[in-house]
Amino acid sequence: MDDASSLPSTFSASATGSGLVSLYATIDTSSGVVDSFGGDAAVFDLGPTGDATFKTSTNSNTAFQVQNSAGNDLLSVNSDDANGAPNVQIGSGSGDGTPTLLTLDQAGSAPTIVNEEAMLGSMYYDTTLGKVQCYEASGWGSCGSSPDTFVTLTPEYSNTVTNGSGLGTMTTDLCSDTLNINDGSSAQPTICGTNETYNFYNWMSSQGSAQTKSIYVTYKLPSNFKNFTAGSTSLMGRTDSTNSTVTYQTYRNRSTGLTACGSAVSVSTGSQSTWQTATSGGSADPSACSFAAGDSIVFKINLTASNNANAYIANLGFTFSNN
């Protein structure tokens, strides 16, 4: 068969009473092979009101293309499932050179939506907000979800002070099974177990009555803060005697004052052979405490000990979402 570029081709047009103009294309292969355009299939339809339809008779990964003078794709349409999900691609996708940009229209406010279902997934650039906006099931908003912020504070905590009249000794140290530090070896106390390594605070009191020392930790929430993730706030603690306990209390701090979030959460009490992790729940969970951007979350951690007992705390963690 001759090369297709040398075959005679014809284009014809027809019009209907409704004003639809159709363009047909036929390549005569002169060899009994089905015509490349399907013979009687319309390639381009132009309706009476200016509506236009381009249609190929066979699905293809190059069903429609707009190229520059060098023959590089600026826009291409793939209509063939066998070549990946049908899609519209901006640029060649090669990853080389200067990319071809998809530029959204701009507006100072969100457009009015008439047909909500048809507009799902729509986008525009909001010049007032300075952000790209997407139309989703919940309405217009910033496109996609901002990543959560995971915060883990390790002793010694930043922005921390201590308070309390309890008599005892507060120290900071490291325990590590791998490094053989405070892991029970060489007559050291057993604070870390197998494969554990933690920084920690240690409160010890030799007094015969319970002595309490409080550690206060303050963390200021950023301007894009949205809300705390439920069930994500926790503190690790450990005690070695019935004469020692660890608890923590969360507060919301803003210009109107300090507000307690629920009641104190018990972390560890009695003789524990492993580290204990206590997660805030119910009204004690920061997610239920109406925090807003710019507020500070304040943790009050109480360590109580007597009769040479020890109370330990390690990692303090929480997670919040951003706007």
**What are the tens digits of pLDDT across the range 87-100?**
888 888 777 778 88
Picking from 310, 305, 300, the residue whose alpha carbon sits closest to that of residue 202 is: 310
Chain centroid to Cα 19, Å, comes to 51
Query: In this structure, which amino acid lies at residue 152?
Result: T
| Whole-number Å distance between alpha carbons of 292 and 254 | 9
* Average model confidence (pLDDT) across the chain: 86
Burial of 16 (0-12, 13-18, 19+ CB in 10 A): exposed
pLDDT tens for each residue of 258-308: 999 999 999 999 999 999 999 999 999 999 999 999 999 999 999 999 999
Look at residue 1 in the predicted model and tell me its pLDDT: 35
Per-residue exposure over 223-257, b if at least 16 CB sit within 10 Å of its own CB, e if not = eebbbbbeebbbbbbbbbbebbbbbbbbbbbeeee
Cβ atoms of 180 and 186 closer than 8 Å: yes
Compute how many other C-beta atoms are within 10 angstroms of the C-beta atom of residue 315.
18
| Whole-number Å distance between alpha carbons of 164 and 172 | 17
Please provide the DSSP assignment of 54-82 as one string: E--SS--TTSEEEE-TTS-EEEEEE--TB
pTM of the entire predicted model: 0.64
CB < 8 Å & 24+ apart, contacts of 141-144 = 142/323
SS3 269: strand
In the structure, what pLDDT confidence band is assigned to residue 8 with cuts at 50, 70 and 90?
Answer: very low
Cβ atoms of 92 and 99 closer than 8 Å: no
Q: Above 70 in pLDDT, residue 33?
A: no
Compute how many other C-beta atoms are within 10 angstroms of the C-beta atom of residue 168.
22
More confident residue, 264 or 48: 264
Look at residue 31 in the predicted model and tell me its pLDDT: 55
Q: Above 50 in pLDDT, residue 232?
A: yes
Element (H, E) at 298: strand 296-305
Cβ-based neighbours of 91, under 8 Å, separated by 6 or more: 73, 74, 75, 99, 100
In the structure, what pLDDT confidence band is assigned to residue 6 with cuts at 50, 70 and 90?
Answer: very low
